Structure 1
Amino acid sequence: MKIRPDQIEGVQPEQLQRRNKAGQSESAFGDFLNREVARGETTAASNIAPPPIVNPLLAAGAVANVRPVSEDGAQVAGQVESILDKWDDYTAALADPEAGLKSAYGTLDEIADDVASLKAGQPDLASTHPGLKSIVDELETLAAAEQFKFNRGDYV
């Protein structure tokens, strides 16, 4: 394909128009931005109020609204915490190649047994402590899923 001079002359005015338009939009945007910033400074300065001084001791009265934890709830929370500690041991055993999968599976078995004994020992957990019940259910689901992964051979 040959490029003819008359084709070049037709394209040159379009390129000049594009350059001029780009230069105008940049300067127009800069001018617009400067105007808005100047206008915003005057309006923002008049609308700013000093932050209120908050004394943290004023909210001390809200502490009376907190119910004391029952002995039963504290016991369940302690069992859940020990199960979560065993989960930490389990993840450490999986990450450590020297510990071996047998020790990891043993820890997982202990977790499943602890969750089952917790559920058997607290049959009315849903009515007395619904928050702890949801945590125990989730721990049970996680233990079952991990046992399934082990039996399937995901960690081999």
Structure 2
Amino acid sequence: MNEINPKTASINKISSVVPRIIQKNSFQEPGGLFNELLTSQIEKNCNDSTLKEVTTLPEIQGSFKAQQLDLSLDQTQLTQKLEDSLDLFETYASWLGDPEKTLKQTHGLLEQVLSSTKALALDVKEHGTSSTDLKQILTQLMTTAQVEQIKLNRGDYSG
């Protein structure tokens, strides 16, 4: 806070109530601490910056790495899909023997079996698998489902 004191010899003199803080001027000396720190940081950054990659926000970097993942189906997923198709076909077989189920219901279930096996066949063809057993089971399931579709359409189960 500054105040004007009119009773002093020089009327226009402004005196400060707050004492002055004396700063050490070590940064102006050629061998001062500031110069040493600045020089060491510059040298350190020059050495590190040649191999450093561009930094981004972790949120952006994480989503970019997720896009680079290989999202192909593995053997376990293909096997699980085949197992699901087989379960559907077992349910279809049990519905054929169930007098409470209609042929319309069993036909709808057979359509589900056919669509799931066709989708699985496309996945196997697209992603490729080395398992000949899986391919063989899939081929047998597709053949059996198509034969059952022919039998239903022909009316073999309507009697």
TM-score w.r.t. length of structure 2: 0.51
Structure 1: unaligned runs, 5 residues or longer = 1-70
Cα separation, 2, equivalents of 1:132 and 1:125: 13
1:121 corresponds in structure 2 to 123
Shift of the alpha carbon at 1:124?
5.6
Superposed structure 1 runs of 4+ greater than 2 Å apart: 124-127
The amino acid of 1:85's aligned partner reads D
1:130 corresponds in structure 2 to 132
Cα separation, 1, equivalents of 2:150 and 2:127: 26
Cα separation, 2, equivalents of 1:90 and 1:127: 28
Cα separation, 2, equivalents of 1:153 and 1:125: 38
Aligned residues: 86
Question: CA separation of 1:75/1:127 partners in 2, compared to 1, >3 Å: closer, same or farther?
Answer: closer
- Aligned pairs for 1:2-81 (under 5 A) are 72-81=74-83
Percent same amino acid among aligned pairs?
34
Residue 143 (1) aligns with residue 106 (2): no
1:26 corresponds in structure 2 to none
Cα separation, 2, equivalents of 1:125 and 1:152: 36
96, 99, 102: which is aligned to 1:97? Answer: 99
Shift of the alpha carbon at 1:104?
0.6
Quote the RMSD (CA, aligned, Å): 1.6
TM-score w.r.t. length of structure 1: 0.52
2:85–2:116 Cα contact (<8 Å) kept:
yes
Larger Rg belongs to: 2
The amino acid of 2:154's aligned partner reads R
Which protein is richer in helix relative to its size?
1
Cα separation, 1, equivalents of 2:78 and 2:127: 9
Cα separation, 2, equivalents of 1:89 and 1:107: 8
Structure 2: unaligned runs, 5 residues or longer = 1-72
What do the CA deviations read for 1:28-63 (whole angstroms, capped 9, x no partner)? xxxxxxxxxxxxxxxxxxxxxxxxxxxxxxxxxxxx
Question: CA separation of 1:79/1:127 partners in 2, compared to 1, >3 Å: closer, same or farther?
Answer: closer
